[in-house]
Structure 1
Amino acid sequence: MTTYSSAGTSLHDVLQLDRIEEDLFRSRLVYRDERALYGGQIAAQVLVAAGRTVAKDRSPNSLHLYYLRGGAASRPTEFRVQRDRDGRTFSARRVVAVQDGKVITTASCSFSVEASGPDVQVAPAPAVPGHPEDFPVYPAPRMFGLDCRLPPGPHSAEWPTRFWARAVDLPPGDSLMEAATLTYLSDRSNGIGGLDLEVPVVPASLDHAIWFHRRVNLSDWMLMDLVPHTLSAERMWYTGTIHDRAGVLAASLAQELLTRSRPTSPS
């Protein structure tokens, strides 16, 4: 059932897609919003569409996505999945997201069977004192079913580079839904807050990549940490990590942003 109001919307609502044909899906959730469709939502739904076409013994291991046009939250999105390959270990999918006959996003997704072997995490999680539940709420408009909190420390008022988050009322145990939730979260902020810019800029996502390393308990706190690396020719590149509360690395991400100067208001 299509939703036309964001009131009471859950993360489950965001991630549910209708199957139109074997490899064609449509988003259920639509709501009125003056801003462009949240990039994390479209990325998470892309992953769900691709995951619905692979064998149940395969879980997401990576997603690479390009934002080509701004989508609208008030219209449904169609997801057209191309089955590139199903090997013994990996499955590869390409997805095209379309609104009103125009491509808004293209993506490549990889899925793999569970494998054993060495498990090594080289770098520890960032040290953050205190308890996440004691920190102030980090408002997350248009991000449904996530509780986000800001730890103490230097932060950009608009784009913090470190915060805690957890999912609310999402059933556990589904590796595809876990990865889609991490994808949904991964676009929440960006690395601009880590730069000391004299001129304010308006960020717009150009491309996004995320790698899934380990399963995570989404109902417990996860720490997202973003690190800017370079800004040039109106394009900024940053990387990030998502650790669980115990410091285990669940996912890594990288994104490039378009960063044009914010128009000044006439005096």
Structure 2
Amino acid sequence: MSESPAERLVDLLGLERIEVDIFRGDSPQEHLQRVFGGQVAGQALVAAGRTTDGERPVHSLHAYFLRPGVPGVPIVYQVERVRDGRSFTTRRVVAVQQGKTIFHLTASFHRPEPGIEHQLPLREVPRPENLPRLADELREHLGELPEALERMARRQPFDIRYVDRLRWTEDEVRGAEPRSAVWMRAVGPLGDDPLVHTCALAYASDMMLLDAVRVPVEPLWGPRGFDMASLDHAMWFHRPFRTDEWFLYDQESPIATGGRGLARGRIYDREGRLLVSVVQEGLFRPHRG
């Protein structure tokens, strides 16, 4: 019996420990040009977390995508124990594939303590139950999905629902604000390990954050006019959460210039609590004719 997409995600995050601070992660043979960046970020964070005592949750990560990974080739994660202090634990992770460094991550762990409390509120958006699944919305517009999209829909570990209707024409795109928002949750249970939920969210956070950069330029699900790649990624984790429960990923792009676009994201739960803040820069190069 084949695994569900959620089970495959948990397996993907279940690294093999091959030395005290060295781990190996699978990289599925997907029909992609490069390994999905969220997979590398999630696996690297697992490696970092497995070298701590587990008493301090991760509160931030900062990462650089240095080279594209090759699908189907395992990735080795080498962890450096930078600091084990009284309040904070710091780890640096280098991801290596075929003898080349493809990714760097630094993660900091801290047990929450008393302090000031405030947050930006969740804006008014439709609830996920009132929105169509992404795959259904694509089928409604496209009819039968192209093979690549159908395969993606079957293997997608997250239920994704766009808050705003998808735009399909240049006229619809023109004048749109550079922002996007989606409700998401894993399509099945992910277990009870908090680190798995954190790393699964790191995986999800790279899936569509750069959408906000593209919204004023081209339809999100039409042919792309740009080659696009994540350059760096930063996350701050504010509160505990479960990635198999609904969360809103609210994204905006304050600027795109010089071939790069910046995107910011805020992740809320259904009750409006701010869980995670995300920032990413991406490279956008026009297709060469």
Q: Specify the alignment match of 2:276 in structure 1.
A: 251
TM-score under structure 2 normalisation? 0.81
For structure 2, list consecutive stretches of 5 or more residues without a partner in the other structure: 136-148
Q: Specify the alignment match of 1:128 in structure 2.
A: 125
Aligned counterpart in structure 2 of residue 14 of structure 1, from 12, 15, 19? 12
Which protein is richer in helix relative to its size? 2
Aligned counterpart in structure 1 of residue 214 of structure 2, from 164, 171, 193? 193
CA-to-aligned-CA distance 1:46-105 (integer Å, 9 cap, x gap): 100000001120111111110011002211100000000000111011100011001100
Aligned counterpart in structure 2 of residue 176 of structure 1, from 192, 195, 199? 195
Alignment of structure 1 residues 99-248 onto 2, 5 Å? 99-121=97-119, 123-129=120-126, 131-139=127-135, 141=152, 144-153=156-165, 155=167, 161-189=180-208, 190=210, 191-196=212-217, 200-248=225-273
Q: Are the structure 2 counterparts of residues 197 and 218 from structure 1 closer, same or farther at C-alpha, using a change threshold of 3 Å?
A: closer
- Quote the sequence identity (%): 37
In 1, the alpha carbon distance for the partners of 2:4 and 2:188 equals: 15
In 2, the alpha carbon distance for the partners of 1:215 and 1:155 equals: 34
In 1, the alpha carbon distance for the partners of 2:76 and 2:156 equals: 20
For structure 1, list consecutive stretches of 5 or more residues without a partner in the other structure: none
In 1, the alpha carbon distance for the partners of 2:214 and 2:123 equals: 17
CA-to-aligned-CA distance 1:86-129 (integer Å, 9 cap, x gap): 001110111000110011001111111232333321x1112112
Aligned counterpart in structure 1 of residue 70 of structure 2, from 69, 72, 81? 72
CA RMSD across the alignment? 2.6
CA contact (8 A) 1:240 1:254 kept: yes
1:168 Cα deviation from its structure 2 partner: 2.9
- Please say which of residues 153-162 and 63-72 is displaced more in the overlay: 153-162
Alignment of structure 1 residues 28-39 onto 2, 5 Å? 28-39=26-37
CA contact (8 A) 2:179 2:253 kept: no
CA-to-aligned-CA distance 1:135-173 (integer Å, 9 cap, x gap): 222248387421111223465789982111001333444
